[in-house]
Structure 1
Amino acid sequence: MAAVRRRQVFDLPEPAPVEVTEYAAEVKPCPGCGIRAAGAFPTGIESPAQYGPEITTKVADAVLGHHIPVYRSTLLVMELCAARVSTGFAASLRGRAARLLEETFLPAVRALLITAPVVHADETFTRTAGATRYLHVAATEHLTLMHTGDRSAATIDAGDVLPYLSGILVRDGYAGYTHLDNVLHAWCGAHLLRDLRGIHEAHPEGQLWARAMADTLLEANRLAHAARQAGRHALSADELTAVQRLYTGALARARSDNRHCTSELATHARTLARRFGNHREAILRFATDLAVPFTNNQSERDIRPTKVQQRSSGGCWRTLQGLADFAIVQSYLSTAGKWGIGRYDALKRLFTTGAWIPHALTPAGV
């Protein structure tokens, strides 16, 4: 019997030409009273000439979802879809999307975040309108909410989430969060390990305490991970006692390593050691409450697209409103992605039937 060899090629058809659909609404006078009555256009048909939902979504996906500059986005849509789109239209989409999200999506996510048992917070600086501005994020595994401003406590509160929390706030050591006495604080272990590594590597033989403290944090994280894997909700009393003993020993070594030293390194080491002494409870929160992760990676991942957009925008935002609109739209796309909804689908819903809105802290079955 002859053998059959097969090979498959996956490809796409050439882009079809743009279709133009014309809607006509008749206007007729009433034969009785003479008042002219006009027929209604379908929902979403608002201008004499406009782009339809498919073109709108494709351009929005390029500009908002993939952070491609406006002009290049119009070229991309022209080349891939044979649709000529103006740069003015593409540039308007972020503001349009933000206005649609302000009244529905933002309040819903804000209300959910306030009820979350553990919330991550972070901030990053941007260059906007010739000045330094900050983008703040409050997030969970399935929700993201961003807002903009400076780095003050008042701006941190302006997101209307952190001041109303009653659970645990995972953050870095920035002092701007210390006024939030309505929450239990948990410090990011990854930041602390970097600080300790910097001290230890500057003088490995003279700053042994930093290595000891780093090993303590890593051991506590290992124990916490093993406990979660075993289905436990807490470390045993013996495990916690061992961690606390190691922590206390590292602090004692910090004092002895830097006693009577006047170098700049010793000053930095003493400052870091004081932070470990003063904020011991927050630093070890991940070990005393296994619902708390070791790092603040969640919020750092969620805020990372800010840097991608900033690079594609020439290193800055031209206006404060542009930065605020970015924060709103990115909150929406990030949250949708956490629920398994792609950027394209989320944007198409937004510009057609309305914004997708989460109605719980987590998807069903998670």
Structure 2
Amino acid sequence: RLQHNLHTVACGCGKVHTAARPQGVPAAPVSLGVNLRSWCVYLMAWHAIPVHRVAELVTSLTGAEPSPGFVHGLLKRAAAAVEQANLRIRALLTLAHVVCCDETPIRVGPKAGPGRGSKYLLVACDRRFTWYQVGDRTLRTFTQSVIAEATGVIVHDRYQNYDSAQLGEHEHQLCCAHLLRDLQDCAETYPDAAWPGQIAEALQGLIHAANLARAQGRDTLPAGTRAMWTRSFRHGVRIGLAEVRRTPGPAKTVTQPVGRMLLETLRDRQDDVLRFTSDLRIPPTNNQAERDLRPAKTQQKISGRLRSERATQHRYAVRGYLSTAAKHGVDLLTAIRESLLGRPWMPPDPAPA
């Protein structure tokens, strides 16, 4: 830990001279240096350590005594420092060939009654970039997100907003991990039926074949392998539709049997289910998005409810910047420090596919 004392002296001629401030030292009578500020932001945004505990840790490790208010205010400063980097991340994601999407509830602000004090955290990402948005699950929030501007394939869990015409025209990849979980539910509901296992086996076979082809540097699946598993998939869907009959009546008043809506999705949106088999750049699941949302769930367990929506937006602005930097192998403390010095790390242009 370094301490800088800036001395002011008066010359015999009456002119007053003050020592120059080192780079990163704020113009305040007493302040923390950029390294300690970087540590505070790193602990809060990356490790989800609560504000008061961050202040205690800094005091224990360095002898400096930042107030919790000062520590909390660093999130706002850091969010402003990485704003341009996040704008670039958003722009690069809109041009990405594939964007994985997901959303999760988070507790924000005081709880004033049932359903109050809750928001949703949306993520749009790929293996290079991460972008977060704090909002809700309404279509209005979705139309303000990267998803509405994306030009590539969007990978998602079939939540209805992803298919809204208000988001524009997109190619879709339905998350096969969610489909396999739904098929497992069907297998438990209809223990004597063969179709849930047949469809699941076909999906798993195609996923394995795609992973193997990708590892071998191939651009496509072997035609015979793809045809075999696709035929098994279709036959399983047909059998399921024949065994699980649709209940007649208006959709708003009639509840369909377990698995019927899933089977209709597999039949009507086969291209969206199996798109990954024709383009190996497309992942079969939105697991990347779930991985990038998992820290939010960890934060809820560690620190609980977040103080305000604005502070939460600052937190995830910094988190998206750091997640993207981590995906590029950048040291995170260096990325924070440089941003606080006015030199934020900027994600490079992606390599040509």
> Residue 173 of structure 2 corresponds to which residue in structure 1?
186
- 1:28-177 to structure 2, matched below 5 A, reads 41-44=21-24, 45-102=26-83, 104-129=84-109, 130=111, 131-159=117-145, 161-177=146-162
Indicate if the aligned counterparts of 1:209 and 1:257 stay in contact, CA closer than 8 A. no
- 1:330-349 to structure 2, matched below 5 A, reads 330-349=319-338
When residues 300 and 26 of structure 1 are mapped into structure 2, their CA distance, relative to the original with a 3 A threshold, is: farther
Indicate if the aligned counterparts of 1:164 and 1:182 stay in contact, CA closer than 8 A. no
Indicate if the aligned counterparts of 2:246 and 2:257 stay in contact, CA closer than 8 A. no
> Residue 275 of structure 1 corresponds to which residue in structure 2?
265
CA shift, 1:100, in A, is: 1.6
> Residue 251 of structure 2 corresponds to which residue in structure 1?
none
Give the structure with higher Rg (CA).
1
Indicate if the aligned counterparts of 2:35 and 2:337 stay in contact, CA closer than 8 A. yes
CA shift, 1:57, in A, is: 1.9
- Code of the residue aligned with 1:227 in structure 2: it is A
Instruction: Could you tell me which runs of 5 or more consecutive residues in structure 1 were left unpaired when the two chains were aligned.
Output: 1-17
CA shift, 1:41, in A, is: 4.3
CA shift, 1:235, in A, is: 2.0
When residues 165 and 59 of structure 1 are mapped into structure 2, their CA distance, relative to the original with a 3 A threshold, is: closer
Indicate if the aligned counterparts of 1:25 and 1:41 stay in contact, CA closer than 8 A. no
When residues 107 and 238 of structure 1 are mapped into structure 2, their CA distance, relative to the original with a 3 A threshold, is: same
Indicate if the aligned counterparts of 2:10 and 2:17 stay in contact, CA closer than 8 A. yes
Deviates most, 106-115 or 184-193: 106-115
Q: Distance in 1 between matches of 2:178 and 2:282?
A: 15
CA shift, 1:229, in A, is: 2.8
1:220-262 per-residue CA deviation (whole Å, 9 max, x = no partner) reads 1122122223322112433333233112101111123224889
Indicate if the aligned counterparts of 2:241 and 2:264 stay in contact, CA closer than 8 A. no
Instruction: Could you tell me which runs of 5 or more consecutive residues in structure 2 were left unpaired when the two chains were aligned.
Output: 112-116, 249-253
- Code of the residue aligned with 1:178 in structure 2: it is D
> Residue 344 of structure 2 corresponds to which residue in structure 1?
355
1:237 is matched with which residue: 214, 223, 230?
223
1:153-178 per-residue CA deviation (whole Å, 9 max, x = no partner) reads 2211212x222222211111111100
Partner of 1:304, secondary structure, is helix
CA shift, 1:26, in A, is: 6.8
Deviates most, 135-144 or 303-312: 303-312
> Residue 216 of structure 1 corresponds to which residue in structure 2?
202
TM-score (norm 2): 0.87
When residues 92 and 27 of structure 1 are mapped into structure 2, their CA distance, relative to the original with a 3 A threshold, is: farther
Partner of 1:267, secondary structure, is coil
> Residue 183 of structure 2 corresponds to which residue in structure 1?
196
CA shift, 1:211, in A, is: 1.2
> Residue 22 of structure 1 corresponds to which residue in structure 2?
5
- Code of the residue aligned with 2:227 in structure 1: it is T
Indicate if the aligned counterparts of 2:103 and 2:122 stay in contact, CA closer than 8 A. yes
CA shift, 1:37, in A, is: 10
Partner of 2:57, secondary structure, is helix
TM-score (norm 1): 0.84
When residues 175 and 265 of structure 1 are mapped into structure 2, their CA distance, relative to the original with a 3 A threshold, is: closer
Indicate if the aligned counterparts of 1:169 and 1:186 stay in contact, CA closer than 8 A. yes
Aligned residues: 339
Tell me if 1:324 matches 2:313. Answer: yes
